[in-house]
Amino acid sequence: LGTRGNFSKEKALAQQNYKNTINTNTGNRVTLSCRYTDSNVWLYWYRQYPSSKLDNLLYIYETGSVQGNPPPGFSAKVKDKAVHLEISSTAVSDSALYYCALQPTVTGNPGTLYKNL
């Protein structure tokens, strides 16, 4: 998993991240994290498979209220101005690009935030 970010200037999500690359075996627990600085915000996680559109995995309010219908084994939490997406047991089908953003819209040409190799 690699990190870059080119989100909307107004609602840019964290330019800091925890890891540039995550390699794991199937069946392992993995957590992807993004920091943010705004307050009272909705935080979104998206997944994108090669040659496919972005899929909204879930969204979560800063207070921790998860919305949407996350895929089985996916969960999220907010702690210390960071939103964490957890995959409880990785599978080959989890190989994709993962993006996080503030509010419902990623604009422009977003850079890769997490890239599963």
**What pLDDT digit, counting tens, does each position of 67-113 carry?**
988 999 999 999 999 999 999 999 999 999 898 988 755 555 656 55
User: Contact 102/45 with Cβ under 8 angstroms?
Assistant: no
Give the pLDDT confidence score for residue 25 in this predicted structure: 93
Distances (CA, A) of 110 to 2, 4, 42, 88: 13, 9, 18, 26
Phi, psi at 87, each rounded to 5° = -110, 115
19/109 Cα distance (integer angstroms): 22
Give the pLDDT confidence score for residue 117 in this predicted structure: 55
**What pLDDT digit, counting tens, does each position of 14-71 carry?**
444 444 567 899 999 999 998 888 888 889 999 999 999 999 999 999 888 899 889 9
pTM reported for the whole predicted model: 0.71
Domains in the chain: ranges and CATH: 30-115 (2.60.40.10)
Give the pLDDT confidence score for residue 63 in this predicted structure: 86
